[in-house]
Amino acid sequence: MEEVIKIEGGHRLNGTVRISGSKNATVALIPAAVLAYGPVTICGVPNISDVRSLSVLLNELGVQVTKKQEDIIIIDPTGMENRPLVGESVSKLRASYYFMGALLGKYGRVEMKMPGGCYLGPRPIDLHLKGFEALGASVQYERGSYIIEAKELVGNKIFLDISSVGATINIMMAAVYAKGRTTIENAAKEPEIIDIATMLNKMGAHIRGMGTSVITIDGVDRLMGCFHEIIPDRIEAATYVVLAAAAADEMVIENIIPQHLDALLMKLDEIGIDLEVEVDKVKVHGMKGELKGTAIKTKPYPGFATDIQQPLTTLLTQANGQSIITETIYPERFKHCGELKKMGAHIDVMVPSCFINGPVRLSGTEVVATDLRCGAALVVAGLIADGITEIHDIYHIDRGYENLDGKLSELGAHIWRETIE
């Protein structure tokens, strides 16, 4: 038995959609909360399966998790114990690696299985481990688990070979309790890093420079609980902007921070989408005329986000001429192209680029969400295709999009779930 999403194409979207809290911030904020010696209240938590998986890990550590309202959770680490994280939940979720930094920082030791998540090609965690070693920890790999320990963590200068978001956050979490000052150079600048540093500072940490390429952390003895509201999800926001560009007459995407979407909004304007940007929302009025093909290169923030090239590929099948997407972050992130070709798209993949020739009419068929953002690309395709699109492996979609089918139904999409054998 398997649950699938079905979409009947050709129904135009209209109305307003509200964006949930950031998935990529949430999956780091929840592990960061265990650094406190008191309850942490987090507001704006998206109702996605990744959050449920993290709650299971918290319970394994003896941390109490209480859901106060639909989007508010209280994490209370008062009765917490540093236990090995070697269960099933770790391998389901890549972001479980944030417990490495948090537990190493708080207890000076962590034992943990290799984390899982979407397969997007090699995503090594050697930068995280190098960072921990620079702070004085030893790293061993035994029987599928990492054992990372230090008698004492001491601040140091750390240069990241690649400005990795995960490594920046993990080192920052370990360093809050290290003696003296830690400097992370070539740090990632993503908005989610600012959000996590902001919460840690509310808890009593001394972190400066987040959002720039040099972050300094002065170690402290103790962090306390706090109240924190998560920033809106810029990738969910970008996905709905692309959905609106492809399939809406008029749609408003609200609860967003427009500057987080600058690279996408400028591209959409360039290819011929009519949109207006306000303080905390974007209004999409459909296409100005015929869409023009374009060239895009993914880059770390504030460049064009790798997470949004997949949904955008679908939109570009409707543009005149050839579009080229070059992937500099995850060169293998083109599995969606094979699925879109099943629907009639003209796409050639020559890693690290794909070449999209349009415009073409897409036809509904059976497709597979090979990863989270591939799922988003197929939803965009289903909305504009002739006939019915049936999407399999939708657990990927549920990992990162809160109530996607519910939100789209309210906008006028014909989208539903079915259980098939």
Percent of the chain surpassing pLDDT 90: 89
216 closest CA partner among 248, 249, 180: 180
Residue 119 confidence (pLDDT) above 80: no
pLDDT of residue 94: 78
Shared domain check, 261 and 153: no
Shared domain check, 61 and 6: no
Residues in the annotated binding site for phosphoenolpyruvate: 23-24
Q: For residue 144, what pLDDT band results from cuts at 50, 70 and 90?
A: confident
Query: pLDDT tens for residues 121-132?
Result: 545 788 999 999
Q: For residue 293, what pLDDT band results from cuts at 50, 70 and 90?
A: very high
pLDDT of residue 118: 55
Shared domain check, 109 and 225: yes
Query: pLDDT tens for residues 7-40?
Result: 999 999 999 999 999 999 999 999 999 999 999 9
Shared domain check, 224 and 76: yes
Domain end residue (candidates: 229, 244, 263): 229
Query: pLDDT tens for residues 294-320?
Result: 999 999 999 999 999 999 999 999 999
Query: pLDDT tens for residues 66-97?
Result: 999 999 999 999 999 999 999 888 877 878 89
Residue 345 confidence (pLDDT) above 60: yes
Cβ(114)–Cβ(123) under 8 Å? no
Shared domain check, 64 and 6: no
Shared domain check, 386 and 325: yes
317 closest CA partner among 231, 227, 411, 245: 245
Shared domain check, 289 and 212: no
pLDDT of residue 237: 98
Domain end residue (candidates: 196, 229, 262): 229
Shared domain check, 315 and 171: no
Q: For residue 147, what pLDDT band results from cuts at 50, 70 and 90?
A: very high
pTM (whole model) above 0.85: yes
Q: For residue 120, what pLDDT band results from cuts at 50, 70 and 90?
A: low
Query: pLDDT tens for residues 182-219?
Result: 999 999 999 999 999 999 999 999 999 999 999 999 99
Show contacts of 255-262: CB within 8 Å, 24+ apart. Answer: 255/18, 255/19, 255/280, 255/281, 256/19, 256/232, 256/280, 256/281, 256/282, 257/191, 257/231, 257/232, 258/282, 260/191, 260/231, 260/232, 260/234, 261/234, 261/237, 262/302
Residue 115 confidence (pLDDT) above 90: no
Give the total number of structural domains in the chain. 2
Shared domain check, 194 and 287: no
Residue 146 confidence (pLDDT) above 70: yes
Q: Is 191 helix (H, G, I), strand (E, B) or coil?
A: helix
Angle at 212 between CA 210 and CA 218, to 5 degrees: 45
Q: What is the DSSP letter of 320?
A: B
Helix axes 165-175, 126-134, angle to 10 degrees: 30
pLDDT of residue 88: 81
Shared domain check, 204 and 103: yes
Shared domain check, 243 and 186: no
pLDDT of residue 327: 97
Domain end residue (candidates: 198, 229, 260): 229
Q: Per mean pLDDT, which range of 44-58, 122-136, 143-157, 161-175 is the poorest?
A: 122-136
Query: pLDDT tens for residues 396-415?
Result: 999 889 999 999 999 999 99
Shared domain check, 159 and 172: yes
- Count CB neighbours of 296 within 10 A: 22
Query: pLDDT tens for residues 246-261?
Result: 999 999 999 999 999 9
Cβ(331)–Cβ(261) under 8 Å? no
- Which residues are designated catalytic? 118
Ordered DSSP codes for 284-319: EEEESSS-B--EEEB-STTSB-HHHHHHHHHHHTTS
Between the alpha carbon of residue 333 and those of residues 293, 308, 408, the distances in Å are 20, 11, 25
Q: What is the residue range of 136's domain?
A: 23-229
- Nearest-angstrom CA–CA distance, 171 and 169: 6
Residues in the annotated binding site for UDP-N-acetyl-alpha-D-glucosamine: 94, 123-127, 307, 329
pLDDT of residue 116: 62
Between the alpha carbon of residue 221 and those of residues 90, 107, 291, the distances in Å are 29, 12, 57
Would you state the structure tokens that stand for residue 71, as one six-digit string?
């989007």
CATH number at residue 51: 3.65.10.10
Would you state the structure tokens that stand for residue 114, as one six-digit string?
């290799």
